[in-house]
Structure 1
């Protein structure tokens, strides 16, 4: 199954989102203001005029930005939708085909091949589906839109810089609806900072060269804080009498301490590192220890369910067993989740936007209420909890 390209939507570059960024108003006026800013930044007027000459607002980009319902799926459904035997087989085949590239990435950046293979698979099905949105139009549309202009406006100027280098076409460069380009879907600013010539042809071609794309992705993860040679996620078994309030990304301790509490690896040995216990669907579902490198995934994508699935898939590509799905308690529908978020807000919890998505803030609020009510505090919301609130 092909992963819809809108999953790249939440991908964040190292560029910090800016506050009070100009947006909205007439689109033509907005483009004129961008052109003035580009010239003020030192770009030649002729280059700026050529670059923006055919820029257009793209309604399909806005529609895609508003249509990310897949992130509302629970981990088991989401992971089973994305991970197939074919994806695993193709990934392992790619690992052999590009062994020398992966060896170099692990030597230079310390990023394990499974991690990059997982992103390559999920973002573009190993390069087969890279998106057909005009990249410039998507970037200017999302910059004009006032939802996240601080993320996208700098990417327009980065694309202009790539254009001046001869590495970007305003009319022909295409990619994901959120402006990412190439096999592992990188934003223009990330390409400027991390683009690497992996195949030695003197060019950085993220759309056509797997070696370039993989080396660039490895360099980017390294710059985002990847710790060389360390694990990221490990499936574990947990005792039934565990103190569940210690689970979740807001809590961590040495793996040796988890071991003393009865947490055991399903394969191999626990690493001598700080780790958080992840229970994506509560204490009756799969359980993982998340090491520091797991958190680096959130610099690539902000969705908990996407990150956990990508991290788990990376372990499968490197030989881990399929997870023990367990028998989780039923979760909430989207409308029920919205009701829950409203009730949590009424109790003073910061759950962010009431959107029906079980994000980090909602999980933390659920866990706090479970503690208050004397329930197993595994941060998994159920109809029973909703009723008690």
Structure 2
């Protein structure tokens, strides 16, 4: 079926949404660009649902670069009476949260998570899932296309439409399988977390949390890393450029570790391009100076003790039990409990994800019991 031209006017948008209004679910996907910007640029929105007689799939493509007012679309999507069906939803939700200036309201049905709850690999791709569940092979030729260029070709439009067209029967298939397995609530517990606004934006004050291993740095190094992360995020937002274009992670880390005190010492940092030193060198040196001064506000480096052999043996034992339980339940082991979950339980007696919701009853309490048993 050839994809129709995208909706490009306010009148067309209202007409398209009116045709979708009676649906209790809508399949949703986006195409966007972000290679050269901090904020993703929404370039196309694809929607699909069943026709009123449930005999076919009705698909609508919307051009957000052409429609002057997208508020009716946001109102339609934010209706909590309508389930939003996406695959590997997090990236699309981030893009939409920028365009909508707020998170998409649920309920959200993520077909990747649903599939993992039914035994598929935790990170199964859309094409692989469509092939496995529906026996349909999808084209892959436009995964790296420039979706901001106009006009979009018929092949591009067909590719975009297929990204939601097959979500409709996929949703029906997975929804019924989850219901039969008694796991529908598990799915919505998982996807409720996707409505958290903090998942889709990074505030400059919290940008340092993206960095790994800061607790192992000396106090003045850690303070410098936090200042650099804040500055990088703020600068990236201000200029709408990828944070890596402002300062790469490895360069940020090396500056924090070496604490350069001069332009010459900055130039000796191999991961720092000469252009960054030339344009940003003075700012970076000021941040390093502040980091040295603020080191006294940071705790000492936290070097976790080496795990004891019996702890490592317990992790191995609990991971083996987790895999066996996952096989018994026909669920992705990674979704049931990750190695990090198990290590956290063994090393620090904390459970986080395993102490509430469906995981508590299915695996968490059982792991705790095995940990405590002689």
> What is the TM-score normalised by the length of structure 1?
0.23
The structure showing larger relative contact order (alpha-carbon pairs under 8 Å, at least 6 residues apart) is 1
Q: Which has the higher helix share?
A: 2
